[in-house]
Structure 1
Amino acid sequence: MQIEKNDRNSTALSQYQSQIETAALIRTSEDILTLTRQMQELWLFGQLKTLDASDIQGRINGDAKEVAEMLAILVDGSQEDNTIKVEN
């Protein structure tokens, strides 16, 4: 149980703590607004690519499929070369 003090020192301390907490809240709000503004600028000027993620993933999948097909051709070709060498 807390004993409430109504003297000037406790009132001044309470006011000081409120001012510090309010200043911290204002500073945090300003930082959030700055971050939001920067994200909007990045999005508007095309540096934040959130809409093209599926297109990029599709390209990566297509490239991976091409590489896999090339590797399969190389592996199959080298096995055929080995069998020909063995037969001769």
Structure 2
Amino acid sequence: LGEASKFLQDALEIAYENNLLEIIVNAKIQLAEIDLLRYRMTNESILIANALRKIEDTRQLCIEQDYRLVLIDVFILQGLLLSMN
């Protein structure tokens, strides 16, 4: 998970620099999923908070950009994270 997270963070930086919104949204969702997996392995509640923050940022981007199909995935993941907290 560490290598995947690093790769996604790098991709996210490049996407922000180039205003590539689809990559930003997908990377944030995947980073939140990694936080969820890490939480399931370690039970560290800070990871749920981190994932929720990423999902909230992603939700805002999806609303602003009218990414409705992605927004469905965001709501599902947000609900899952909230149920675990």
Q: Normalization by structure 2: what TM-score?
A: 0.29
Give the structure, 1 or 2, with the largest relative contact order (CA under 8 Å, sep 6 or more). Answer: 2
Compare CA radii of gyration and give the structure with the larger one. Answer: 1
